[in-house]
Amino acid sequence: MQLFYLKNINSDFLEGSEYNHCANVLRNKKGDIIYLTDGEGNLYNAKIFDIYDQKVYLKQMKKIKSYKYPKSTSVAVAPPKNINRVEWMVEKLTEIGIEKIYFIKSSNSVRKKINFERLEKKVISAMKQCNSLFKTKLKGFYSTNEFLKKYDFENKFLADINSKNLKFGKIREGNSVILIGPEGDFSKNEIMSFQDNQYKRISLGNMILRSETAAVVGGFLINNSIQK
């Protein structure tokens, strides 16, 4: 199934990259039936009414299926300097079904800015590639203190190479997060702040992982530790 993303499902046309993908790459034409999602767990189909002025016009929009997000899991990460590695991380976290990605500015962070428009395109592409009906949400860019003040979670973990704990244990259903530090790791004061806020230190293994790799590994592990 080829999937298209339409943020405002009440709109009657595709434009921009979705228009290009539909009309120019896949060569869809007037009268074809296409499938769409709003990224909120809903699947629709619609008929192409016409194609002109760089828009694909739709009619007879119909909701086919609707799902709730299977697991409320988040990754909060201090992103690496290299933008290609950030994009890779965002794509993979989307593919494995992480609901939200929070970007953190640690005192040891090198990257100080995030191009959210560019990363949103990577999220949408990854969502469509794996036929997901859920678009991972990008949040941030927060200092560690701002993040702790603004957000709380039922299940809270901090990836720590110095931890001997390799097991998440049975995580009850609820919103869960794992924190991933920069390549120089969080500062001692930041780690103390996380622990003061009941973040549980956990190891992702004996190898020292790059931040983007740790984010994907941590996201996968926390996702698969949640008990329904």
* In the predicted structure, residue 69 carries a pLDDT above the cut 60: yes
Least confident residue range of 17-21, 170-174, 212-216: 170-174
139 and 208 housed in the same domain: yes
Domain end marker among 40, 66, 92: 66
CATH assignment of the domain containing 8: 2.40.240.20
123 and 35 housed in the same domain: no
147 and 57 housed in the same domain: no
- 1-55 pLDDT, tens digit per residue, is 789 999 888 888 899 999 999 988 999 899 999 999 999 999 999 999 999 999 9
37 and 92 housed in the same domain: no
Return the closest-CA partner of residue 78 out of 197, 206, 202, 182: 182
58 and 18 housed in the same domain: yes
* In the predicted structure, residue 178 carries a pLDDT above the cut 90: yes
CATH assignment of the domain containing 160: 3.40.1280.10
43 and 82 housed in the same domain: no
112 and 129 housed in the same domain: yes
Which pLDDT does position 184 carry in this prediction? 82
Burial 61-92 (b: 16+ CB within 10 A, else e): eeeeeeeeeebbbbbbbbbbeeeebbbbbbbb
Region 195-214: what's the mean pLDDT? 89
171 and 152 housed in the same domain: yes
Which pLDDT does position 67 carry in this prediction? 87
- 97-139 pLDDT, tens digit per residue, is 999 999 999 888 888 888 999 999 999 999 999 999 999 999 9
218 and 111 housed in the same domain: yes
69 φ, ψ (degrees, to nearest 5): -60, 130
123 and 221 housed in the same domain: yes
Domain end marker among 45, 66, 87: 66
What's the total number of domains in the chain? Answer: 2
- 139-168 pLDDT, tens digit per residue, is 989 999 999 999 999 899 999 888 777 677
Which pLDDT does position 109 carry in this prediction? 85
Percent of the chain with pLDDT over 90: 60
Q: Pick the residue with more confidence: 92 or 108?
A: 92
156 and 120 housed in the same domain: yes
Asked whether the beta carbons of 141 and 113 are under 8 A apart, the reply is: yes
Q: What distance in Å separates the CA atoms of residue 95 and residue 134, rounded to the nearest whole number?
A: 10
Q: Domain range for residue 54? A: 3-66
120 and 150 housed in the same domain: yes
